[in-house]
């Protein structure tokens, strides 16, 4: 059996930055969009759309330098109308920026829990300018990205809590590792339903399937679940001993809705009771 600590839950944050920038460029019609994560006090420009030169690719921008470095320190959106002549920023990166023909730029921080986790840029060449609408679109994109990163942080936090609890269990200080695995599975199932990003939701769903496989008693887990995602969510809560009301509260559903999902799951699993449904789901590798 694969140790639970070997299960990687967090997808590459670069995908989230790439999606945010692509969507912002499409909605704002800015010719250039780029950005990336902040690690320590250094911004790394890992994502680029509409660039013609290689100067900005993987460029490292230190805090307080250039437009992006200023944004890291100020933690607020900043716009310059003429990058090359603007006297409010340092010009450490003029060579790659001006080689790209960039003149008007907006830089927006991605702030999560008070910390700048990245910066998104929208830019225009020549006499064109980045208008208020484009700046607003970049701000919305940064907020949405911050929400996705915060969600990923919460998943990491919950996983770490469960792993710590499992380590305690191994030392006889807490519940068994199997119970911790089942609780983690149920937590992630519930959290997955709050995700709006299709790619991230599918990645989290795949992680819950892998967790179910770790604790299953099935010799050959089912390739395709006969249960709907919500039926699985409800059954995962029931497996922890939750009542219909408790499951409804954890899943943000009405108790009547939980009862309907549970009845449907019992019917599909040919089970007469809640306990029989849980046992049948575990035998098929649908629950840990």
Quick one: tokens of 97?
A: 């920026």
- Of the candidates 237, 238, 228, the residue with the CA atom closest to the CA atom of residue 265: 228
Entry pTM: 0.61
CATH of domain 175-283: 1.10.10.10
d(CA 81, CA 68) in angstroms, rounded, equals 15
Domain boundaries, the chain: 13-146, 175-283
Q: What homologous superfamily is domain 13-146 in, according to CATH?
A: GAF domain (3.30.450.40)
Report which secondary-structure segment, H or E, holds 21.
Answer: helix 13-28
**For residues 158, 42, 203 and 150, what is the CA-based torsion angle, rounded to 10 degrees?**
40
d(CA 288, CA 281) in angstroms, rounded, equals 9
CB-based contacts of 52, cutoff 8 Å, min separation 6: 100, 101
The one-digit pLDDT tens for each residue of the chain (288 residues) are 333 344 455 778 999 999 999 999 999 989 999 999 999 899 999 999 999 999 999 999 999 999 999 999 999 999 999 999 999 999 999 999 999 999 999 999 999 999 999 999 999 998 778 989 999 999 999 999 999 999 888 888 887 777 766 666 555 544 566 777 787 888 888 888 787 777 777 878 877 877 776 655 454 555 578 999 899 999 999 988 899 999 999 898 999 999 999 999 999 999 998 988 998 988 888 888
């Amino acid at each position: 059996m694969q140790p639970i600590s070997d299960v990687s839950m967090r997808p590459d944050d670069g995908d989230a930055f790439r999606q945010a920038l692509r969507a912002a460029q499409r909605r704002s019609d800015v010719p250039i969009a780029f950005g990336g994560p902040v690690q320590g006090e250094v911004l790394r420009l890992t994502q680029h759309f509409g660039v013609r030169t290689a100067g900005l690719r993987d460029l490292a921008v230190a805090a307080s330098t250039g437009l992006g470095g200023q944004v890291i320190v100020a933690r607020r959106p900043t716009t310059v109308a003429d990058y090359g002549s603007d006297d409010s920023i340092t010009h450490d990166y003029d060579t790659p920026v001006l080689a790209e023909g960039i003149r008007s730029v907006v830089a927006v921080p991605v702030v999560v829990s008070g910390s700048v986790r990245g910066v998104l840029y929208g830019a225009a060449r020549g006499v064109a300018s980045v208008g208020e609408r484009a700046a607003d679109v970049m701000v919305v994109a940064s907020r949405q990205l911050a929400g996705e990163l915060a969600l990923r942080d919460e998943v990491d936090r919950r996983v770490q809590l469960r792993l710590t609890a499992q380590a305690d269990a191994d030392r006889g200080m807490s519940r068994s590792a199997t119970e911790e695995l089942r609780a983690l599975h149920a937590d992630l199932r519930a959290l997955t339903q709050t995700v709006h990003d299709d790619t991230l939701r599918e990645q989290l769903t795949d992680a819950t399937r892998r967790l179910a496989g770790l604790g299953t008693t099935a010799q050959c887990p089912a390739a395709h679940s006969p249960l709907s995602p919500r039926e699985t969510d409800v059954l995962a809560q029931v497996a922890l001993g939750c009542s219909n009301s408790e499951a409804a509260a954890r899943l943000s559903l009405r108790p009547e809705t939980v009862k309907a999902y549970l009845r449907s799951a019992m019917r599909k699993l040919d089970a007469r009771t809640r306990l029989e449904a849980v046992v049948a789901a575990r035998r098929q590798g649908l629950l840990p």
